[in-house]
Structure 1
Amino acid sequence: MDFLPIRRALLSVTDKSGLVEFATFLTQNGVELVSTGGTQRTLTEAGLDVTPVSKVTGFPEIMGGRVKTLHPHIHGGILADKDNPEHLATLKELGIRTFDLICVNLYNFADAAARGLDLRGAVEEVDIGGPCMLRATAKNFHSMLVLPDPADYQAAMQEMRDNDMRVGLAMRQAMAVKTFRATSAYDGMIADYLGSKTA
């Protein structure tokens, strides 16, 4: 689709710069918010109505947060091609709702490595769910908007203001490109770090 209406968003960020302003803009324009852990707490403390991811999945966060968003009710809602009737029929059959916007940035692995953690400690700072959501959303940019960086919030808000809470395909594709570059750099950094250590 050329212009994507933004009605439901999932926010899960390490860098909370500009988060409350952006989430407030979304809620003031009728967007439903879904969130995880610390992001959810920040938004709730700001007085915003937020649905926890565990309510969407029907499953609690487990293993210290290692598993929380890796679930069909999240990834089905991200990866569905909204122009594909078969995809939409599958979602309806399974009771899965689509997302329109995924706002995710990753655990700061560079900071963890710089702190001199031991190998096991550093590995705990490797983000799994975040890159999965980012890459899934970027792949599906024809039906989704991905925002991997707080620096993009203002442009996204302006795009929505200018287009009656819709986002054009050009911006969605540009954000997908930025996202794949970011996840590639993130994986490269982790590979370099692990390659420099002895197990």
Structure 2
Amino acid sequence: MQQRRPVRRALLSVSDKAGIVEFAQALSARGVELLSTGGTARLLAEKGLPVTEVSDYTGFPEMMDGRVKTLHPKVHGGILGRRGQDDAIMEEHQIQPIDMVVVNLYPFAKTVAREGCSLEDAVENIDIGGPTMVRSAAKNHKDVAIVVKSSDYDAIIKEMDDNEGSLDACNPFRPRHQSLRTHCRLRQHDCNYFGSMVPAYHG
């Protein structure tokens, strides 16, 4: 028998905002509570969607020009918390379960490929919060849907409609390989760029 997990709360934090408004509208119409950060939250609010900024949920402001946004126990506890096992500790610390993480990462490869890209520009496009959420969701993939590609938005909504607002615990959006592949690709771009700046070692 397939195990299904209801999607009641989603965290959306995307650099590429193509399709995110429509996806968020579809989630909200199906009763999903929306958490979001920075520019994504502002965009959704401008479109009239009920959205809670992560800083309001955590009680801790975004800081350092957006460098610190989602690195908070109430975010990662909500993603990593094992349903039916960590419920008491989550309740004690007022951590709400997050059932879906929608994230795409800073366009590091495109940034460093631009002519005249400075080291400062490259450094500011090193994504910290996004990959961390991806890995947290991957670790708890049985309970949390991971969405890293906008091309999956329609299929996810269709599956939710087919399953009364739930996703199959073994559906293609949950397994760790998709999210970890995304993370590995990002790390490779980082290594390639910064490695090229290190003089060759001749031992």
Please give the secondary structure, in 1, of the residue aligned with 2:102: strand
Identify the residue that residue 95 of structure 2 maps to in structure 1. 96
Per the alignment, residue 139 of structure 2 pairs with 139
Secondary structure of 2:97 counterpart? coil
Aligned AA (1:12): S
Tell me, yes or no, if the aligned pair for 1:142 and 1:172 is still in contact at 8 Å. no
What does residue 65 of structure 1 align with?
A: 66
Deviations 1:98-146 (A, max 9, x none): 1101100000001110123222221110100000001100110111101
The question of whether the paired residues in 2 share the 8 Å contact of 1:144 and 1:172 is answered with no
TM-score by length of 2: 0.93
Distance 1:174 1:13 in 2: 18
Over aligned residues, Cα RMSD in angstroms? 1.5
Aligned 8 A contact 1:159 1:167 in 2: yes
Whether 1:184 aligns to 2:184 is: yes
Q: Which residue of 2 aligns with 1:76?
A: 77
Is the partner of 1:61 in helix, strand or coil? coil
Deviations 1:81-106 (A, max 9, x none): 1031xx11100111111110110000
Any conservation in 1 of the 2:144–2:174 contact (CA below 8 Å)?
no
CA distance in 2, matches of 1:136, 1:152: 20
CA drift at 1:79: 0.2
Contact 1:73-1:97 within 8 A present in 2 as well: yes
Task: Note the alpha carbon deviations across 1:140-196, whole angstroms, 9 max, x for none.
Answer: 011110101101111111110100000001215654321110110111111111000
Q: Which residue of 1 aligns with 2:123?
A: 123
Q: Distance in 1 between matches of 2:111 and 2:23?
A: 27
Q: How many residues align?
A: 197
Instruction: Give the TM-score normalised by the residue count of structure 1.
Output: 0.95
Compare the two structures and name the one with the higher helix fraction.
Answer: 1
Question: SS in structure 1 opposite 2:23?
Answer: helix
For residue 113 of structure 1, what is the aligned residue in structure 2?
112
Q: Which has the larger radius of gyration?
A: 2
- 1:53 paired to 2:54: yes
Contact 1:67 1:129 in 2 (8 A): yes
Q: Within 1, Cα distance between the matches of 2:190 and 2:135?
A: 17
Relative to structure 1, the CA distance from residue 174 to residue 82 in structure 2 (aligned partners, 3 Å threshold; closer, same or farther) is closer
Structure 2 letter corresponding to 1:43: L
Distance 1:176 1:48 in 2: 30
Kept in 2: contact 1:29–1:165 (CA 8 A): yes
Identical counterparts, % of pairs: 46
Q: Secondary structure at the match of 2:11?
A: strand
Return closer, same or farther for 1:51/1:174 CA change in 2, 3 Å cut-off. Answer: closer
Is the 8 Å Cα contact of residues 112 and 122 (structure 2) preserved in structure 1?
yes
Asked if 1:10 corresponds to 2:2, the answer is no
Q: Quick check: 2:80–2:137 contact (8 Å CA) kept in 1?
A: yes
**Do the aligned residues in 1 keep the contact of 2:101 with 2:146 (CA within 8 Å)?**
yes
Which of structure 1's runs of 4+ aligned residues deviate more than 6 A? Answer: none
Q: Is 1:25 equivalent to 2:29 in the alignment?
A: no
